[in-house]
Amino acid sequence: MENSLFASLTLEEKLYWYHYFIWMEFSYSEDDFQQNFPLELPSSRRRWNLIREAKDFAKNVHSIAKAQLLEHLSSEDLFLLSPSPDVSKHEYYNFEYLTRDWSNSDAHQQRKTITEFIENQLQSISIDPSEKALFIGCGNGRYAVDFAHRYEKVVACDKSLMMIWTTLYLKRLKTWDICHQITRNCRTVEDSIQRETVEMSEDLSRKIDEKVEFMIGDVSKINMDDCSFQHIYSIYFTDVLPLKVLWKQIDRLLTDQGLFIHFGPLEYFFSNELEMLTAEEICDFFVDKEYTILANSFLETPHLFMKNSMRHRFYDNWFFIAQKNQTSEVSIDTSFAVHSDSEVLKLHKMKQGESTEEWSINNGNIDYELPEIIADILCVMDGKKSLRDLLAIQGFDELANEQELVSVFKELYAKRLITIRNGN
C-alpha cells in the first residue's frame, strides 16, 4: 500500500526522501534535546518527558517510512546519496493535519463543516457528479475521499510524501494512536502534547481502493494530459503558488466547461506582495481569461483547532467556482487571436554553414514548433478576421489543404496557445 507510493517515485525523488527521513531522525534525536533543556524543576521534568514522547513518536514514524523506502533502493542507488545534502528545504511534517482529517475529536469539526458547506453549495447550483476530479495540494487527502462519491475517478496530488504516506499507513492500520507536541500557549504541563486517535473506516478505505489515486508531485510541474479533468479542487492551496503559475496548469488540465473550485483563505506563502491578490482580483483574472464565475461566498471556520492550546485561528474562507468556457467549433471561418500568455518566436540557426529560420509559439509551459506559413498567419491574426479572410488578404489562398490548416489551429487552441474571438 505505502510501498506502491515509493515505487512510483523516480530515483532522484527516492534519494531526496531518503535524505529527508535521515534528517528527521537526526532532528528528533534525544541527546541534542536533553543537552539543551533549560530547567530542572519537577514540572519541567514532566514537560520534558511529554515532549520527548512526542518527539520519539515522530522519529519512529519517519523511521518506519525510511525502512519502507529502503526496500526500493539498491546498494548501487545508495552510493548516489549526497554526502552533504541541502536540508534547508526540509519541512517538519505537521501531525495536526492528520488529526483534523482523520480523527473524530473536536479537531475534525473544521473538515466536517467545510465538506458539508461545499457539498451544499455544489447542489444549490446544480453541479452534477462527473467523470474525473483533481485535488491539488491535497494534504492528507480527506477532502478528496469525502467528495469521491461524485466522480468515477479522483486524483489527489501533494508535494509532501509524508502527507500521503501517513494516510496510506493509517489505511493499513485502521486505527492509530498519535501524539504531537504543542510548542506554545499551553495552560498546563500536560497540555504540552496532544494525544489523538485517528481512524479510517472500511467504507472510506474501500472508497480509496475504488476511486482515489494518490500522487506525489509539484502541481506546477505535474505531468498529465491536457483536458484530463472535469473538476479541479483547491482546498487550502490556491495561496501556496502565485496565481499566474497555478492558472496555467488549471487551464491546461480542465476540459471545456470544467470547474475550478477553490475553498480557503488567501494567506499566501511567498514573498512577492504584488502576487498576493485579493479575492476580487482573482475573480477579475478568471473573467479576463474567459471563465464564468458560478459561486463567490465566504464561510468562517476555526483552523487546526487543538483543545490543548490557548491559541486558535479563524479564517473567513473564500468559496469560489470558475467555469472554463466551452470550445466553439473550430473551422475556416473562426476568428483567432494569439493567447495573452503566448508569444510567436523566430529563431535563427546555422545548418551546414547556412542561416535558417525556425518558428515556434511558446506560453512558458509549451513550446510548439510552427511551419512558416502558420507562423505568418499567427503574426497577422487580430481576433476579428477569420482564417478564410486572412488567407485571402495575405495571399495564402493557395495553401494546399484547408483541412490540415484547421487541424493545426484546433491543436493550438486545445493547448491554449491561441484563443477564439467573436469576430467583428
| Residue 258 phi, psi dihedral angles, 5° rounding | -70, 160
Q: Which three cell numbers stand for residue 344?
A: 510567436
pLDDT category of residue 419 using cuts at 50, 70 and 90: confident
pTM for the full predicted model = 0.78
Which ranges of 276-386 does DSSP label H, i.e. alpha helix?
279-288, 372-380
pLDDT digits (tens, 9 = 90+) for 303-320: 998 889 999 899 999 999
Q: Which helix (H) or strand (E) holds 317?
A: strand 313-324
DSSP 165: H
Q: 93-324: which CATH architecture?
A: 3-Layer(aba) Sandwich (3.40)
Better-scored residue on pLDDT, 134 or 342: 134
> In terms of C-beta density within 10 A (0-12 exposed, 13-18 middle, 19 or more buried), how is residue 308 classed?
middle
Between 420 and 165, whose confidence is greater? 165
Nearest to 145 by CA among 209, 83, 91, 82: 209
**Running DSSP on this structure, what letter comes out for residue 106?**
G
Give the long-range contacts of residues 394-399, CB within 8 A, separation 24 or more: 399/373
DSSP state at residue 274? G
Name the 3-class secondary structure at 275.
helix
User: Could you read off the pLDDT of 360-411 as tens digits, one per residue?
Assistant: 998 876 788 888 888 888 888 888 888 888 888 766 655 557 777 888 888 8
Residue 230, Ramachandran bin (φ over 0: left; ψ between -120 and 50: alpha; else beta)? alpha
pLDDT score, position 328: 56
Decide: 85 and 19 in contact? Cβ < 8 Å: yes
Match 542561416 to its residue by C-alpha cell: 355
Establish how many alpha carbons lie within 13 A of residue 331's alpha carbon, considering only the half-sphere containing its beta carbon.
3
pLDDT (tens digit, 9 = 90+) per residue, 18-56? 999 999 998 888 665 666 667 778 888 899 899 999 999
Residue 424 pLDDT > 50, yes or no? no
Contact between 189 and 47 (Cβ < 8 Å): yes
Picking from 339, 344, 297, the residue whose alpha carbon sits closest to that of residue 317 is: 297
Residue type, 175: T
The Cα-based distances of 112 to 42, 136, 235, 335, 398 in angstroms read 40, 19, 13, 47, 63
pLDDT of residue 158: 96
Mean per-residue pLDDT over the chain, rounded: 88
> Greater confidence, 1 or 122?
122
236 close to 219: Cβ distance less than 8 angstroms = no
- Res. 423 pLDDT band, cuts 50 70 90: very low
pLDDT 10s digits, 268-278: 999 999 999 99
CA separation for the pair 253, 249 (Å, rounded): 6
All three cell numbers of 75: 546498494
Nearest-angstrom CA–CA distance, 288 and 285? 5
Sign of CA dihedral 378, 382, 386, 390: negative
Residue type, 24: M
Q: How far apart are CA 369 and CA 366, in angstroms?
A: 10
Whether the Cβ atoms of residue 140 and residue 166 lie closer than 8 Å to each other: yes
Mean pLDDT of 93-114: 88
Instruction: Note whether 137 and 158 are within 8 A (CB).
Output: yes
| Residues making up the chain, counted from first to last | 424
Question: What is the separation, in whole angstroms, between the first and last Cα of the chain?
Answer: 57
66's CB contacts (< 8 A; 6+ apart) are: 18, 21, 22, 25
